[in-house]
């Protein structure tokens, strides 16, 4: 799980800028936070999709939100999710694994395919993965230095996967989301102050 907070802006500054309408500061604050919350939720899906071969719908389905109120001026976005199988990466236009077929032993003793290639990053090259097999609808990897008995028991094989929270935790993605969220919050506060002053001064 990962949690992103939309922190409350300075209420004293909002009150000062509202002047005689300073009682509306709490409304301005929580409304700006909640609108930032919605845009940040969309941005999370977009940023993850830009880096990883995963569609935005999958990212959004992992997200839950807690809105701010006048008494509790902090909003949260939480991402929970189990690891997504490597075979479920890709977005229709770009594959994550190739080839997608069961490995077979040929008469000459070699295997087909000789090796599977995979990727999870968008616009990246395929990388050959040693000891990887396609089985039970997903990609599995035999443990390194395993005994023959362990290799023969598929239950001991590693499931190659990655969860949405792990993707969001990527340093580049997380930093970009936080920076864009803070910038958007400042803009929303400006907009809400202008709206309130325009409405109340009529």
Q: Per the structure block, which two tokens stand in for 142?
A: 């035999």
DSSP collapsed to 3 states, the chain: CEEEEECCCCHHHHHHHHHHHHHHHHHHHHHHHHHHHHHHHHHHHHHHHHHECCCHHHHHHCEEEECCCCCCCCEEEEECCCCEEHHHCCCCCCCCEECCCCCEECCCCCEECCCEEECCECCCCCEEECCEEEECCEEEECCCCCCHHHHHCHHHCEECEECHHHHHCCHHHHHHHHHHHHHHHHHHHHHHHHHHHHHHCC
Q: What is the pLDDT of residue 28?
A: 93
- Percent of the chain having pLDDT more than 90? 53
Q: What is the pLDDT of residue 61?
A: 95
The number of angstroms, rounded, from the C-alpha of 180 to the middle of its chain's C-alpha atoms is: 15
pLDDT tens-digit map of 51-62: 999 999 999 999
Q: What is the pLDDT of residue 189?
A: 94
pLDDT tens-digit map of 170-200: 999 999 999 999 999 999 999 999 988 887 6
pLDDT band at 103 (very low <50, low <70, confident <90, very high): confident
pLDDT at 46 over 90: yes
pLDDT band at 147 (very low <50, low <70, confident <90, very high): confident
Q: What is the CA radius of gyration of the chain?
A: 24
Question: What is the rounded average pLDDT of the residues 76-84?
Answer: 93
pLDDT at 11 over 80: yes
Which single residue is written with the structure tokens 């935790």? 169
**Mean pLDDT estimate for the chain:** 89
């Amino acid at each position: 799980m990962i949690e992103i907070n939309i922190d409350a802006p300075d209420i004293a500054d909002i009150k000062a800028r509202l002047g005689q309408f300073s009682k509306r500061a709490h409304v301005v604050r929580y409304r700006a936070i909640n609108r930032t919350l919605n845009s940040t939720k969309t941005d999370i899906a977009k940023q993850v999709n830009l880096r990883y071969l995963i569609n935005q719908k999958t990212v959004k389905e992992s997200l839950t939100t807690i809105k701010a109120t006048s008494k509790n001026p902090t909003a949260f976005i939480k991402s929970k999710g189990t690891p997504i199988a490597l075979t479920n990466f890709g977005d229709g236009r770009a594959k994550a694994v190739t080839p997608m077929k069961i490995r077979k032993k040929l008469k000459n003793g070699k295997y087909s395919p000789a090796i599977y290639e995979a990727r999870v990053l968008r616009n990246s090259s395929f990388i050959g993965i040693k000891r990887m097999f396609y089985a039970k609808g997903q990609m599995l990897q035999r443990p390194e230095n395993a005994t023959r008995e362990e290799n023969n028991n598929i239950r001991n094989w590693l499931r190659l996967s990655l969860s949405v929270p792990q993707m969001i935790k990527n340093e580049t993605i997380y930093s970009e989301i936080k920076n864009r969220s803070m910038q958007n919050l400042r803009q929303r506060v400006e907009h809400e102050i202008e709206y309130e002053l325009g409405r109340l001064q009529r």
